[in-house]
Amino acid sequence: MFELSEEHEAFRAAVRDFAEKEIAPHVAQWDRDHHFPVDVVQKMGQMGLFGLTAPEEFGGAGDDGDFTSLCVAIEELGRIDQSIGVTLEAGVGLGINPILTYGSAQQRQQWLPDLVAGRALAGFGLTEPGAGSDAGATRTKADLVDGQWIVNGAKQFITNSGSSITSLVTVTARTGVLESGRPEISTIIVPAGTPGFVVEPAYHKLGWHISDTHPLTFIDCRVPDGNLLGERGRGYAQFLHTLDDGRVAIAALSVGLIQACLDECLQYAGDRHTMGGPIGRKQGVAFQIADLEVMLQAARGLTYRAAAMKDAMLAGHPGAPTPAQFKRAAAVAKLYSSESAVTATRTATQVFGGYGFMEEYPVARFYRDAKILEIGEGTSEVQRLLIARGLGLPVE
């Protein structure tokens, strides 16, 4: 069984204390109002949560942080509210990491200090109305004319893309045609406020009501040629690499939700009395809660095993996993944890009975928030495809 270090557990306690004091008292109202709490996001930045995987030169934790710490933070925030958890997950994994990994020295110096400090957020523009995992279906175009990229197209379901502190969105776009005839996909940094960059009204979502999520439109949006992120034609490959980390982070978010369901059910099973005693003494209820514990331990073990693999790769440890091994572990963790989280919320709602269907109880919010975990950062079907390929199966 994988065990976290004492340092990680102490860090967990600090994040849990923050979440219970700064988020828990307000989260039900924020959810009802679809309110994005910028002040809380900035407090998360002051705690150093956005800088856990960033070097000290940009204000990050440097050697004192790691990917496992980020997953611990996401889990603890997600235990209180999934929207806040995904704000951190996307802010680091989809906002900071592409610039940190592929950006030029000038790009890193320009954008990272504010992102790492939580003073700003960045979005990750991959999905389109007709494209996601299929790079060839990308319709957004970027033409290089007189030293400027002219971007035209649309993106959808983009997290952290329209808040008052969003500073940029990185977008994948067609920048040409390869010899094979397939589109050349590159990544362009588009700063917020650029003429032609239109943030459309926020979605009315089933769940994640507190998260900032918008469709985006680009109409003759011009940015300097220096806003190319990484190597031209490698944009889609860069984003796929980014998604491997993101899948482990979504698994951590799922673990937080399973833990929340277990916590709520244990409390309710002791407080709710029927037929002369607490419902927790009934096997029909007790066994369902026991299943939550099994799912929690399994999901947590898979998630932090994958996180440890990532940290070993970053540290260059002898015998560190290969990228292919990590990719498969990330897919396994994401698949199992996200599907277990959906099951856990259904179980929790059942344990609560009619009360579980009422918005005054958090399990109703948990139920609404869970489904997207099986979709974001690659659907369950995509994870099964990656796992099968990792096993050597020639699946298409």
Q: Which residues carry out catalysis?
A: 377
Query: How many angstroms separate the CA atoms of 77 and 216, rounded?
Result: 27
Q: Which is nearest to 212 in space by CA: 253, 153, 165, 173?
A: 165
Query: How many angstroms separate the CA atoms of 3 and 267, rounded?
Result: 26
Neighbours of 331 (CB within 10 A): 27
Query: How many angstroms separate the CA atoms of 60 and 77, rounded?
Result: 19
Bridge partners of 131, per DSSP, are 128
Do β-strands 166-177 and 148-159 pair in parallel, antiparallel, or remain unpaired? unpaired
Tokens 């095993």 found at: 305
Q: What are the two backbone dihedrals, phi and then psi, of residue 375, each rounded to the nearest 5 degrees? A: -115, -50
Query: How many angstroms separate the CA atoms of 341 and 343, rounded?
Result: 5
Q: What are the two backbone dihedrals, phi and then psi, of residue 57, each rounded to the nearest 5 degrees? A: -65, -20
- Contact status, residue 168 vs residue 189, Cβ threshold 8 Å: yes
CA distance readout (Å), 356 to 99, 271, 339, 345, 363: 42, 14, 20, 10, 6
Tokens 């890193």 found at: 108
SS (H, E, C) 187-248: EEEEECCCCCEEECCCCCCCCCCCCCEEEEEEEEEEEEHHHECCCCCCHHHHHHHHHHHHHH
Bridge partners of 186, per DSSP, are 173
Query: How many angstroms separate the CA atoms of 165 and 157, rounded?
Result: 18
